[in-house]
């Protein structure tokens, strides 16, 4: 198998490479098309609403994440307006790029065209990467940066050209501007250098140049963090404590198979890990997986945090499996390959039915909504905003003119800010994450429509509260908003002076 393909490569050096690219691009384009056809269903996710809100207030940092994702969202708003399909296009492109790069990693490791395609398909049909194309989330871009770093590392180790450290450093810098958890992967890179033959690069100026480039790219956000007393660190502490307390960090190891990759591809990933540790040249990549895995496990991170580390394992697994299969008879090789692809497809079909919004109604929609909490969080926001507008319209004219909308979480904040202008609602007043840094209106409103508070909490914080409406959705879908925050109140001003109230009610979420 390998000898024939290498002979063809010598005779026609460009043709196989172009065909490899064509296959990978075809797979990526097909996935992108599926996302584009389905991403307009339901509504924005609560996390997307926060990104949209922050995109209207560009800065070099935000409480809950670095600045790159809101910056890209701002570009999307400028190009597409408030279009779900348009705004999610960046995520689709990032996922498609990760698919192609996975196949390219397999090729660099010696895999033929079929093995490259299998590696790419294993990513396509895995839960987390498939989800990354359905919403505008920082995980979509974080995933791509991890995959690109792994690809550039393979090119570095294969070519022994130290200039690849500049490419690695540039992408590490972008990663630090996207999601702070990439520091765990950075620990894997540095640990992999020290614990493998790649330690020779410690003497290379290109290695240190890559580090310097990453820091220069990250510097604006680092300065923002310093100016704001590293508030993002305190946010991450709070969120981690919440996640551990609510059991979201449980099942970390099981999630590596159930969420991060297609279950049927788990043996391929294990093969890839063994491939890296057996090949002295590429052993650094083995440590780049093991070290973050161990750190996340010890720190009680959530299972999906490791998802971006699997494409490099799947690529190596495909290359290694192809070498083993080459030792078998052609018939046995075809049977095993067909069985594996069939199993991958069957598991992938289930993943697609759960993750993708394939249907706007009917049993397939109900199947997905029952099993996918993220899809449920896309439902009800337009109805919420309309309910708030209806409550505003019932107020006497003198109250209507001076009423504000105070929200309890970033989903409500983004919904009122992005969807509220259609109903001529004022900008939301929010104490959550970066909205708290932006402050409250001057002068503050005398009347408030209050969302996201329980009755006892609303009575404690505000004067003269009365129940004015309920938050739900026409589909009767149970999600965080309809279950935890069903009541909407009309209240007077805070019981404490606004500066004191603002100080005491800062929240992370």
Residue 191 lies in a domain: yes
Residue 375 lies in a domain: no
Residue 156 lies in a domain: yes
- Residue for token digits 């501007």? 177
Give the pLDDT confidence score for residue 14 in this predicted structure.
55
Residues shown for the chain: 509
What total of structural domains would you count in the chain? 2
Q: Please list the alpha-helical segments (H only) found in 300-379.
A: 310-325, 330-355, 363-371, 373-376
Residue 376 lies in a domain: no
Reported as type and span, the H/E element at residue 277 is helix 266-278
User: Does 392 share its domain with 338?
Assistant: no
Write the DSSP string, 330-352.
HHHHHHHHHHHHHHHHHHHHHHH
User: Does 394 share its domain with 346?
Assistant: no
Give the pLDDT confidence score for residue 2 in this predicted structure.
36
pLDDT tens-digit map of 142-178: 999 999 999 999 999 999 999 999 999 999 999 999 9
User: Does 392 share its domain with 435?
Assistant: yes
User: Does 351 share its domain with 391?
Assistant: no
Full residue range of the structural domain in which residue 409 is found: 381-504
User: Does 61 share its domain with 165?
Assistant: yes
User: Does 390 share its domain with 316?
Assistant: no
Structure tokens at 300: 């009680």
Residues 6+ apart with CB under 8 A from 382: 43, 415, 419
Residues 6+ apart with CB under 8 A from 492: 446, 447, 448, 462, 463, 464, 465
User: Does 223 share its domain with 109?
Assistant: yes
- The pLDDT mean for the chain works out to 94
CA distance 284 to 194: 9
Task: Evaluate whether 198 touches 310 at the Cβ level (below 8 Å).
Answer: no
Residues 6+ apart with CB under 8 A from 474: 383
CA distance 509 to 506: 10
CA distance 100 to 98: 6
User: Does 487 share its domain with 396?
Assistant: yes
Task: Evaluate whether 111 touches 315 at the Cβ level (below 8 Å).
Answer: yes
Residue 469 lies in a domain: yes
User: Does 222 share its domain with 130?
Assistant: yes
Residue 365 lies in a domain: no
User: Does 348 share its domain with 393?
Assistant: no
User: Does 252 share its domain with 297?
Assistant: yes
Residue 374 lies in a domain: no
CA distance 418 to 429: 13
User: Does 325 share its domain with 396?
Assistant: no
Mean pLDDT, the chain cut into blocks of 10 residues (509 residues total): 38 67 96 96 95 97 97 96 96 98 97 97 97 96 98 98 98 98 98 98 98 98 98 95 93 96 96 97 98 97 96 98 93 94 96 95 94 95 97 93 95 97 97 97 95 96 96 89 93 97 95
CA distance 136 to 133: 8
CA distance 46 to 416: 12
Reported as type and span, the H/E element at residue 470 is strand 466-470
Give the pLDDT confidence score for residue 15 in this predicted structure.
64
Residue 90 lies in a domain: yes
């Amino acid at each position: 198998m390998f000898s024939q393909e290498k002979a063809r490569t010598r005779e026609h050096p460009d043709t196989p490479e172009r065909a490899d690219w064509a296959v990978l691009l075809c797979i990526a384009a097909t996935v992108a098309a599926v996302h584009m056809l389905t991403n307009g269903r339901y509504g924005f996710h609560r996390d997307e609403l926060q990104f949209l809100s922050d995109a209207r207030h560009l800065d070099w940092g935000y409480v809950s994440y670095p600045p790159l994702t809101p910056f890209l969202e701002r570009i999307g708003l400028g190009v597409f307006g408030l279009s779900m399909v348009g705004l999610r296009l960046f995520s689709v492109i990032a996922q498609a790029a990760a698919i192609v790069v996975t196949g390219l990693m397999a090729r660099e490791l010696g895999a033929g065209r079929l093995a490259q395609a299998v590696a790419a398909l294993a990513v396509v049909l895995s839960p987390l990467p498939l989800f990354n194309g359905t919403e505008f989330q920082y995980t979509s871009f974080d995933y791509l940066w991890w995959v690109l770093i792994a690809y550039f590392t393979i090119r570095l180790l294969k070519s022994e050209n130290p200039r690849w450290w500049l490419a690695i450093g540039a992408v590490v810098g972008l990663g630090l501007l996207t999601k702070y958890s990439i520091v765990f992967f950075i620990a894997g890179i540095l640990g992999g250098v020290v614990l493998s033959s790649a330690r020779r690069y410690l003497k290379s100026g290109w290695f240190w140049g890559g580090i310097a480039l990453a820091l220069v790219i990250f510097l604006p956000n680092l300065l923002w963090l310093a100016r704001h007393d590293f508030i993002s660190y305190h946010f991450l502490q709070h969120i981690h404590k919440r996640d551990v307390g609510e059991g979201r960090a449980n099942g970390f190891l099981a999630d590596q198979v159930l969420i991060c990759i297609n279950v049927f591809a788990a043996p391929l990933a294990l093969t890839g890990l063994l491939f890296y540790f057996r090949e002295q040249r590429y052993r650094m990549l083995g440590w780049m997986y093991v070290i973050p895995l161990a750190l996340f496990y010890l720190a009680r991170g959530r299972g999906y945090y490791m998802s971006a580390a699997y494409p490099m394992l799947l690529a190596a697994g495909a290359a290694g499996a192809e070498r083993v299969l080459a030792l078998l008879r052609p018939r046995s090789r075809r049977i095993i390959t067909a069985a594996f692809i069939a199993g991958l497809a069957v598991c992938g079909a289930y993943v697609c039915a759960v993750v993708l919004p394939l249907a706007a109604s009917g049993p397939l929609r109900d199947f997905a909504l029952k099993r996918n909490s993220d899809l449920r969080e896309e439902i009800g926001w337009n109805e919420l905003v309309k309910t708030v507008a209806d409550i505003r319209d019932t107020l006497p004219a003198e109250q209507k003119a001076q009423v504000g909308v105070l929200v309890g979480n970033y989903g409500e904040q983004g919904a009122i800010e992005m969807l509220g202008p259609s109903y001529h609602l004022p900008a939301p007043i929010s104490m959550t994450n970066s909205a708290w840094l932006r402050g409250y209106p001057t002068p503050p409103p005398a009347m408030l429509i209050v969302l996201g508070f329980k009755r006892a909490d609303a009575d404690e914080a505000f004067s003269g509260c009365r129940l004015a409406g309920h938050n739900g959705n026409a589909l009767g879908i149970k999600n965080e908003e309809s279950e935890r925050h069903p009541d909407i109140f009309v209240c007077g001003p805070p019981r404490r002076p606004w500066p004191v109230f603002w100080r005491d009610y800062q929240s992370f979420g």
